[in-house]
Structure 1
């Protein structure tokens, strides 16, 4: 009975993710067109912040319980999953066009933040002063994103909005609620099934839970790509990665400061940084082919997904 209930939770959760992601992206893209702002801005701020809510909640609760290491691992692990799994799967399903503003301005900013944050951690400590710097950087990022979003040429206004502000906002909130609730259902059901089959807690944590907290990003990015909202798909990943570093890490910095697990900086953070650098290189390279528009094609998606699966495989092998 328990196994059947867990399987039902996974099936219903996946169905909720699909429907919720579609409605969430519909509401976000409609609001973007109604307000006349770039879908990239909406993707980075509204969608990115909304889909990062699970990481923020998990990190806050972990830090309050004195488990700051979980919060740190959650932030870094989610960023690795966002690039390797979310972008990889999204690009495999449908190649993602990259506006030149994304390649020239947004991706380099994410790379700069990624390497800037590591400078705060090289002393193997995460302290309140580091948290204050992260929060200040987040405020600067938000101000810059809003200003650049208003000035961006990439406002996709070729399609007329099909809903008003009220309906679009309603679907945005309903879709976000479905994403949050459905992802919890999938994680719970998959964990129960894995436990019943005798899979260890560590492997469950490295796979089911890690992927589970990134399911909202995955569902939203895939739905955006399928709807042709490429700017929102890439904006979701970039924005989520920024929020994971600048909005998630302050929780352990303020609530559970102390020494950082050395393996985080020696093994995991370099993987995250390398994937970000690889994203920059592949994005730049794709735009130089016969003056074509930059894009993340299926080959790039396969590269990212392979990197992610290799990383998870190494983690599981090291834990055995």
Structure 2
């Protein structure tokens, strides 16, 4: 019990470290975007999304390269996506001054639908790995290769291109008052601090997996995912309180698209070939699909995320955590150990 308490304390400290590093990185990224006068599409779809999603990207790289736990990194990405869909919008809606948070047709019919395509493409990538690169041993297992990893990356390129088409007539102007050297320094410091914090989160997830005798990726879906999603939560809450609900929800969806189509494939490209167990991946992706359907239905209804609907999202996330706890103590056998 003492070891579990120490691991949870490590996760809490690591979360604070990730939050601090993410704050420095996002502020410096905004400064760099203004200093170089990049177009709005680059700032929104690439710089802002990459900045808020850097903890998730680092979690995949750290889990894969340092600990050989690619599935833990995938679990962190999927868990972060679920957290972003269910917790971040709900908290932002409850924190907003008005009764609920408006969504909008563009957000629902473009951003949300493309996000659904991102979920489907990642599941398809894992399925193709099992079909065309099967591995010996119990259960369905397969290798995710670099050619397969290129598929979601190409799709992300399509996402950026569609954003470019929407903003092709808008060109940014460089801000001469931005100190680019200082901005790059803080960007590097923020990234370094995030790496340290994510290492702590991964260590906690691995330790909890050993303590309870369960796959570490289950803890990656909660401990690492929640810790790495804190920056997205603060960005969305701030936007909602300042009367910019579309920015709040767009940050959630843009971050998830980046996580699914860039963070996971980058881990494969860096490491080469990585093995996945289909019996582990399917329950994770299944709950993500369920969360996606609920989220889309709620934001589409009257184009408003009401307080009652916000609590519904929080209850669903609570059920998600309960399921993971039942898996951890062996009360549920959906995910094989």
Cα distance change on mapping 1:90 and 1:168 into 2, 3 Å: farther
> Structure 1's 146 and 119: CA in aligned 2 closer, same or farther, altered over 3 A?
same
Q: What corresponds to 1:290 in structure 2?
A: none
Cα 1:75–1:276 shift into 2, 3 Å: same
- Measured after TM superposition, the shift of residue 311 of structure 1 is 0.4
Aligned residue in 1 for 2:82:
80
Q: Take 2:116 and 2:179, find their aligned partners in 1: how far apart are those partners?
A: 36
Instruction: Give 2:122's match in structure 1, choosing from 105, 109, 117.
Output: 117
CA deviation after TM superposition for structure 1 residue 47, in Å: 2.3
Superposed CA deviations along residues 127-147 of structure 1, whole A, max 9, x for unmatched, are 222111122112121121222
Matches within 5 A, 1:122-137: 122-123=127-128, 124=130, 125=142, 126-137=144-155
Distance 2:145 2:13 in 1: 42
Residue matched to 1:156 = none
CA RMSD of aligned residues (A): 4.4
When the two structures are superposed, what TM-score results if normalisation uses the length of structure 1?
0.72
Preserved contact between residue 222 and residue 321 of structure 2 (Cα < 8 Å): yes
TM superposition shift of 1:53: 0.7
Judging changes above 3 Å, is the alpha-carbon distance between structure 1 residues 130 and 214 closer, same or farther for their aligned structure 2 residues?
same
From 264, 288, 305, give the equivalent of 2:281. 264
SS of 2:68's equivalent in the other structure is: coil
- Partner SS state of residue 122, structure 1: helix
Does the C-alpha gap of structure 1 residues 105 and 214 become closer, same or farther in structure 2, counting only changes over 3 Å?
A: same
Kept in 2: contact 1:84–1:304 (CA 8 A): yes
The DSSP-based 3-state class of the residue aligned with 1:214 is helix
Query: SS of 2:73's equivalent?
Result: helix
Partner Cα distance (2:79, 2:274) in 1: 19
Report deviation, 1:11. 8.6
Asked whether the equivalents of residues 206 and 316 of structure 1 are also in contact (C-alpha less than 8 Å), the reply is no
Q: Any unmatched runs of 5+ in structure 1? A: 153-162, 288-294
Q: Which has the higher contact order (CA 8 A, sep 6+)?
A: 1
Report the TM-score when normalising by structure 2: 0.69
Give yes or no for the alignment of 1:53 onto 2:27.
no
CA distance 1:164–1:101, change in 2 (3 Å):
farther
Q: Distance in 1 between matches of 2:147 and 2:18?
A: 40
Q: Secondary structure at the match of 1:228?
A: coil
Q: Does 1:141 align with 2:159?
A: yes
**Per the alignment, in what secondary structure is the counterpart of residue 166 of structure 1?**
coil
1:231 to 222, 246, 250: 246
Query: How far off is 1:302 after superposition?
Result: 1.3
Tell me which of 306, 309, 312 is aligned to 2:315: 306
> Structure 1: how far apart are the matches of 2:75 and 2:21?
29
Consecutive unaligned residues in structure 2, runs of 5 or more = 131-141, 330-337
Answer whether contact 2:101 2:306 (CA < 8 A) is retained. yes
**Residues in 1 aligned to 2:192 and 2:276: alpha-carbon distance in whole angstroms:** 31
Structure 2: how far apart are the matches of 1:100 and 1:241?
19
> Alpha-carbon deviation of 1:273?
1.2
The alpha-carbon deviation at position 211 of structure 1 amounts to 0.9
Shift of 1:110: 0.9
Q: Report what 1:90 is aligned to.
A: 92
- Quote the Cα distance in structure 2 between the aligned partners of 1:151 and 1:302: 40
Q: Do the aligned residues in 1 keep the contact of 2:21 with 2:193 (CA within 8 Å)?
A: no
Question: Would the alpha carbon gap of residues 51 and 184 (structure 1) be closer, same or farther in structure 2, given more than 3 Å must change?
Answer: farther
Whole-angstrom distance in 1 between the partners of 2:31 and 2:239: 9
Change beyond 3 A, Cα 1:186–1:130: closer
- Post-superposition offset of 1:246: 0.9
